[in-house]
């Protein structure tokens, strides 16, 4: 998915119970959970949906969508809500919360807040996992390894095509990092006209050498084929290619990480069951199972500690990888995304 690809609630007592200990509900109880599909949904099915059903809590009817809020808004507006829990990206969570599309969450329902990564429990959602936009390359095709976005821009040391996502988001951040802006200053810089101009000027330097991608599957395919020497990519896509035997490698320095979230659609007739599900999916044992299936980082701290070292090394929430990362600002992209995407499209078309 272009905007990536790329989770938590219930009563405090329930949050502390194991799957087997959750009080059983009638098997006729069902919950519609909508996510982004693909490999992520397959991992959710193994780690969350099936175990939730097996616990006796209720049946999960799993569906998928492209992340658009229009369907959610239509349901809420006419008062006919057929989706209960939806997976949303950070800007959509923020926008949907402001528009009254999601139920509010009481953080006390989750138990100890210290069990979760900072910033993963918000007013209307709980992060289900964390993914990253990373710099990737084929270690079998380069004599020297790139170490930063500055190397991505270095056409002399690393001649050849570069893959970048066709959009302003992530691309402008990478350009400023390549130009020497500190991670913690990225969005202060992008908030200014001078900062935006600086990012586009940096992109001008390599524009003839950019191969734009629009689907997450493209960067690993291009890297393996030798069509590009480096590419921005979703970490999960690169990890999947590594698992298939490729020599693709990730540069975690300057990675841009972003959570996806569970949210409850306002007016859900199954709000209590939805809270049970999100709490269930937020327990360390189930988050561990999810991250064992797909290399997206758990937000429950205990889950990370329970994973093998080799698995941890592939996850955005591993301490070493997180130390070199910058959280993508959902607020910034909600406020400025439309104008910057328009400007990017006009620039790319020239």
Pair 90, 219 in one domain: no
Pair 156, 58 in one domain: no
Give exposure, 122-134, as e/b (b: 16+ Cβ within 10 Å). Answer: bebbbbbbbbbbb
Count of CA atoms in the C-beta half-sphere (13 A) of 21: 8
At 131 the three-state DSSP class reads: strand
Pair 193, 340 in one domain: yes
Whether 248 contacts 139, CB under 8 Å: yes
Instruction: Give the separation between CA 6 and CA 61, rounded to whole angstroms.
Output: 22
Residue 118 lies in a domain: yes
Residue 6 lies in a domain: no
Q: What percent of the chain has pLDDT over 90?
A: 84
Joined tokens for residue 32: 């519609």
Pair 339, 223 in one domain: yes
Q: Is the dihedral of CA 149, 152, 158, 163 positive or negative?
A: positive
**What's the number of domains the chain is made of?**
2
Pair 162, 225 in one domain: yes
Pair 167, 252 in one domain: yes
Of the candidates 220, 328, 261, the one whose C-alpha atom is nearest the C-alpha of residue 36 is: 261
Pair 119, 145 in one domain: no
Residue 19 lies in a domain: yes
State pLDDT tens for residues 284-296. Answer: 999 999 999 999 9
Instruction: Give the separation between CA 270 and CA 1, rounded to whole angstroms.
Output: 29
Question: Which residues span the domain enclosing 142?
Answer: 132-257+326-349
Joined tokens for residue 313: 């090394």
Pair 221, 108 in one domain: no
DSSP letters for 187-247: HHHHTSHHHHHHHHHHHHHHGGGEEEE-STTHHHHHHHHTS-SEEEEEHHHHHHHHHTT--
State pLDDT tens for residues 78-105. Answer: 999 999 999 999 999 999 999 999 999 8
Counting as low any pLDDT under 50, the low residues of the chain are 1-28
Residue 51 lies in a domain: yes
pLDDT at 26: 38
CATH of the domain at 162: 3.40.190.10
Whether 125 contacts 259, CB under 8 Å: no
Of the candidates 274, 221, 268, the one whose C-alpha atom is nearest the C-alpha of residue 109 is: 274
pLDDT at 25: 38
DSSP 335: H
State pLDDT tens for residues 148-177. Answer: 999 999 999 999 999 999 999 999 999 999
Give Cα 57 distance to the centre of its chain.
27
Distances (CA, A) of 216 to 3, 160, 233: 9, 20, 7
pLDDT at 62: 97
Instruction: Give the separation between CA 55 and CA 280, rounded to whole angstroms.
Output: 10
pLDDT at 14: 36
Pair 201, 330 in one domain: yes
Residue 5 lies in a domain: no
Residue 3 lies in a domain: no
Pair 31, 52 in one domain: yes
At 47 the three-state DSSP class reads: helix
Pair 274, 251 in one domain: no
Residue 31 lies in a domain: yes
pTM of the predicted model as reported, rounded to 2 decimal places: 0.85
Residue 2 lies in a domain: no
Question: What is the Cα Rg of the chain in Å?
Answer: 20
pLDDT at 141: 93
Between strands 230-234 and 126-138, the pairing is: antiparallel
DSSP 23: P
Pair 264, 124 in one domain: yes
């Amino acid at each position: 998915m272009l905007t990536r690809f790329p989770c938590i609630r219930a009563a405090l007592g329930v949050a502390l119970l194991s799957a087997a200990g959750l009080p059983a509900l009638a098997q006729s109880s069902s919950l519609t959970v909508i996510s982004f599909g693909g490999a992520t949904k397959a991992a959710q099915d193994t780690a969350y949906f099936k175990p939730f059903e097996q616990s006796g809590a209720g049946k999960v009817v799993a569906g998928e969508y492209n992340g658009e809020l229009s369907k959610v808004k239509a349901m809420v507006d006419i008062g006919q809500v057929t989706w209960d829990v939806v997976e949303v990206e950070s800007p959509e969570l923020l926008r949907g919360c402001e528009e009254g599309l999601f139920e509010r969450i009481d953080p006390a329902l989750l138990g100890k807040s210290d069990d979760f990564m900072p910033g993963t429990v918000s007013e209307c959602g709980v992060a289900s996992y964390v993914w990253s936009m990373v710099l990737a390359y084929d270690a079998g095709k380069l004599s020297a390894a790139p170490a930063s976005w500055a190397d991505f821009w270095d056409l002399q040391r690393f001649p050849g095509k570069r893959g970048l996502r066709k959009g302003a988001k992530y691309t402008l951040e990478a350009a400023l990092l390549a130009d020497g802006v500190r991670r913690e200053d990225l969005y202060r810089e992008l908030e200014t006209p001078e900062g935006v101009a600086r990012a586009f000027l940096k992109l001008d330097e390599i524009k003839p050498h950019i191969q734009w991608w629009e689907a997450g599957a493209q960067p690993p395919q291009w890297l393996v084929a030798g069509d590009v020497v480096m590419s921005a990519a979703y970490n999960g896509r690169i990890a999947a290619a590594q698992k298939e035997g490729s020599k693709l490698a990730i540069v975690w320095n300057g990675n841009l990480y972003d959570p996806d979230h569970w949210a409850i659609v306002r007016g859900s007739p199954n709000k209590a069951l939805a809270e049970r599900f999100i709490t269930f999916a937020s327990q360390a044992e189930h988050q561990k199972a999810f991250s064992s299936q797909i290399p997206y980082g758990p937000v429950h701290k205990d889950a990370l500690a329970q994973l093998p070292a080799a698995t941890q090394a592939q996850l955005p929430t591993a301490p070493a990888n997180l130390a070199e990362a910058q959280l993508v600002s959902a607020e910034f992209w909600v406020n400025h995304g439309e104008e910057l995407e328009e400007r990017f499209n006009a620039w790319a078309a020239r």
